């Protein structure tokens, strides 16, 4: 009896402290009620990451073979492009970068957006968070020369020259024939490697694909108003990592091709 009295007394005291009535236990929030909030937070984070930090791009063509796979009938590489580094410095020769193609590079570009207003709106929203590719002609090539440098091909070994010095390009496997004595830049049967000299305007880059025999790069557009170069403002970021397929996962090298 004494024990019961003590327990009753303690309960009454507790009720008095709480205003005379015990607080009801809080029900746990329903996961379904929290799910929209979680999705919204994830989409906002994805937007911020894709816009300011990094984004994944698909390699659609073979212009960067064998460094990046995009050949017909194969699984194209998915690469991570980081966007932070170039906020503190410009691209360097040897970097593999993704950039928006200038007008002269984009004449054959066909929009992937639907003609249906609702679907097109959904595609635009999906693009903001990385679920749908951006509707622009994004290209990937390697930086060969920067503003103020003069680039041309070839020396007597078929190498590209920048300011008169040959480049060291171990990544080039596929190129046009260059045969000293019979097919060079001075023979009747001229090598398709030959171009220039071109002086790159300040604030621009001279870009080339690693697959030299199959890349519509700066050489292909040398007749436009920027002599085939692309403005620094068009640079999206640096390709740093192959994310997929797993068999090719790894970093993308940026060798010092000018030996500086």
Annotated active-site positions, please? 63, 141
Phi-psi region of 243 (alpha: psi -120 to 50; beta: other; left: phi over 0): alpha
Contacts for 181 with CB less than 8 Å, ≥ 6 apart: 187
Burial class (CB in 10 A: 0-12, 13-18, 19+), 63: buried
Element (H, E) at 220: none
Place of tokens 């690469």: 79
Residue 165: how many CA atoms within 13 Å on its side-chain side?
A: 10
Distance CA 82, CA 100 (A): 15
Count other Cβ atoms within 10 Å, centred on residue 186: 10
Token match 């091709």: residue? 257
End-to-end Cα distance, the chain: 93
| Cα dihedral 241/91/94/98 (nearest 10) | 50
């Amino acid at each position: 009896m004494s024990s019961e009295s003590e327990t009753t007394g303690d309960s009454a005291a507790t009720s008095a402290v709480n205003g005379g009535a015990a607080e009801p236990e809080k029900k746990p929030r329903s996961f379904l009620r929290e799910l929209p909030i979680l999705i919204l937070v994830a989409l906002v984070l994805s937007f911020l990451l894709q816009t300011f930090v990094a984004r994944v791009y698909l390699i659609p063509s073979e212009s960067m073979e064998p460094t990046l796979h995009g050949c017909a009938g194969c699984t194209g590489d998915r690469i991570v492009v980081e966007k932070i580094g170039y906020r503190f410095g410009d691209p360097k020769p040897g970097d593999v970068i993704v950039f928006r193609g200038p007008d002269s590079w984009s004449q054959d570009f066909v929009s992937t957006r639907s003609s249906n207003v609702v679907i097109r709106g959904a595609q635009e929203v999906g693009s903001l968070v990385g679920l749908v590719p951006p509707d622009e002609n994004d290209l990937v090539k390697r930086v060969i020369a920067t503003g103020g440098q003069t680039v041309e091909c070839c020396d007597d070994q078929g190498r590209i020259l920048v300011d008169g010095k040959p480049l060291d390009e171990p990544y080039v496997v596929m190129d046009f024939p260059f045969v000293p004595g019979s097919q060079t830049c001075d023979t009747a049967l001229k090598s398709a490697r030959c171009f220039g000299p071109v002086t790159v305007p300040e604030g621009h880059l001279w870009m080339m694909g690693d697959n030299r025999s199959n890349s519509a790069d700066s050489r292909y557009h040398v007749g436009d108003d920027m002599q085939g170069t692309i403005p620094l403002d068009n640079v999206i970021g640096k390709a740093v990592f192959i994310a997929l397929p797993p068999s090719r996962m790894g970093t993308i090298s940026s060798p010092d091709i000018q030996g500086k």
